[in-house]
Structure 1
Amino acid sequence: MAAGRAIKAGDLPQVIPVFPLGGVLLLPHAQLPLNIFEPRYLNMIDDAMAAERMIGMIQPAGGSPALPALAAVGCLGRITSFAETSDGRYLITLTGVCRFRVANELAGRLPYRQVRANYAEFVEDLKPLVDDEGFDRIRFLAALKAFLERRGLDVDWDTAKDAPAEALVNSLSMALPFEPAERQALLEAVAFEERRETLIALMEIDAADRSGDDDPHWLQ
């Protein structure tokens, strides 16, 4: 699959290696930096680099720590940046391509896990990012401000005020300190509008008991 070429549903690999990592979210079009050091995942990256540079990010879903169950939905990513450190680690960046539902896990002798992926529910992920005409940025940024203040965190507010809606929602869905189940809910929101409203709800629920001025005059 050539870099830079538009990806169609038929281009997507049906069997993919997966990296189960709790509390980590990858969304379409977004970028996720990873530090790879476990031998089995170094092997996985070697194999991916020799093929289509594709791996799936997915959260564990309980069970045995040695072989946890996998969440029902993950996200396929393409390795778009790769570097090897002097101590043998790989520093990679994954760019989200398309979410998938796990059809089944394959038995095999590879040191890492593989699944058969079904992309049918998520083919809209392959379309370019678009403007969101229904985005209430004032409400969104007010909820974000309250959420961050409770944790002593901050963001680049100039960027947050100007960034395209989908890019902003996706990047914050990945970056904000949500619980694994909340991250999974953001991932499984089929349409972007559903993810946007889920993110706002999570932030507003979290900040519901905060004190202070709710007037978003600071956005003007």
Structure 2
Amino acid sequence: MQAGNVHYRRSVDLPETIAIFPLTGALLLPGGQLPLNIFEPRYLEMFDDALSGDRLIGIIQPRLDHAGKTEKRAVDSLSGVGCMGRITSFSETGDGRYIVSLTGVCRFRLDDEMRTRKAYRSAHVTPFLNDLSDDSEAGSVDRRGLIESFKAYLEANELDADWDSVERASDSTLVNCLSMISPFGPAEKQALLEAPDLKSRAETLIAITEFALANDGDDVPSTIQ
């Protein structure tokens, strides 16, 4: 897996501990791009530290049954699986914010949270090493079924996409990018993240999309970023 200028191929290329950024509704997958607008002091500190180190940040959702509750610095307040991302784009706005882009490297399982003096959270993690193999499951995805179901969903909600780019994308890029831009909720995003392999993720996305179509696309935003 390549992210920016760095190749990640083996477990030794990845850290055993990582700063974690809890973010509801966010989905980062290997090879995907996640733009972020950073303004809270603790996360500005996190990105300062990451930029001076390995440039890796762990994106993870709070546990769904903790939504709306006061944040606890405890591992049981977070979902069990997140995704490491490398900072591949960074700019300062002049008003105290950072505009950054993370490129997904691999998913990780959250083991236990570390006690530190930092304002942000860090944890011991176990990387999903299979994510480091590029296009290892090419040809296993129901590509046509995925495109047709997603196109039907977009048309039903008067949305559009760059279909020329979609058709040219590799299987892994197609599945992961459609999963990331899909306008579904935190539970669906977590299900897509935790799918065991690319084929399962594609099948999960098709099922979620068809369910949304059957329910007339309730609670769907009017645009896709």
TM-score when scaled to structure 2?
0.86
Corresponding residue number in structure 1 for 2:33: 31
* Structure 1 counterpart of 2:22, from 20, 29, 39: 20
Q: Distance in 2 between matches of 1:157 and 1:11?
A: 35
Query: Which runs of 5 or more structure 2 residues have no equivalent in the other structure?
Result: 217-225
CA 1:118 to 1:134, structure 2 compared with 1: closer, same or farther past 3 Å? closer
Corresponding residue number in structure 1 for 2:160: 154
Corresponding residue number in structure 2 for 1:134: 140
Alpha-carbon shift at residue 157 of structure 1 (Å): 1.4
Q: Is the counterpart of residue 84 in structure 1 residue 86 in structure 2? A: no
Corresponding residue number in structure 1 for 2:115: 107
Q: Distance in 1 between matches of 2:119 and 2:156?
A: 42
* Structure 1 counterpart of 2:72, from 39, 62, 67: 67
Q: Distance in 2 between matches of 1:26 and 1:172?
A: 11
Q: Is the 8 A contact 1:131 1:164 kept in 2?
A: no
Equivalence map 1:109-128=2 (5 Å): 109-119=117-127, 122-128=128-134
Corresponding residue number in structure 2 for 1:218: none
Corresponding residue number in structure 1 for 2:54: 52
Q: Is the 8 A contact 1:9 1:126 kept in 2?
A: no
Identity of aligned residues (%): 49
Query: Which runs of 5 or more structure 1 residues have no equivalent in the other structure?
Result: 211-220
TM-score when scaled to structure 1?
0.88
Deviations 1:14-63 (A, max 9, x none): 11100000000000111111111111000000000111001100001143
Alpha-carbon shift at residue 6 of structure 1 (Å): 3.9
Q: Is the 8 A contact 1:81 1:93 kept in 2?
A: yes
Deviations 1:104-152 (A, max 9, x none): 0112221001110012xx2111112356213333322220122112322
CA 1:138 to 1:43, structure 2 compared with 1: closer, same or farther past 3 Å? same
Q: Distance in 2 between matches of 1:72 and 1:42?
A: 24
Q: Distance in 2 between matches of 1:131 and 1:116?
A: 28
Q: Is the 8 A contact 2:135 2:171 kept in 1?
A: no
Alpha-carbon shift at residue 163 of structure 1 (Å): 1.5
* Structure 2 counterpart of 1:186, from 186, 192, 195: 192
Corresponding residue number in structure 2 for 1:206: 212
AA aligned to 1:185 is: A
Q: Is the 8 A contact 1:82 1:92 kept in 2?
A: yes
Alpha-carbon shift at residue 161 of structure 1 (Å): 2.1
Deviates more, 1:131-140 or 1:89-98: 131-140
Alpha-carbon shift at residue 11 of structure 1 (Å): 1.8
Corresponding residue number in structure 1 for 2:221: none
Q: Which structure is larger by alpha-carbon Rg, 1 or 2? A: 1
CA 1:159 to 1:131, structure 2 compared with 1: closer, same or farther past 3 Å? farther
Q: Is the 8 A contact 1:137 1:161 kept in 2?
A: no
Corresponding residue number in structure 1 for 2:181: 175
AA aligned to 1:67 is: K
Q: Distance in 1 between matches of 2:186 and 2:101?
A: 21
Q: Is the counterpart of residue 42 in structure 1 residue 44 in structure 2? A: yes
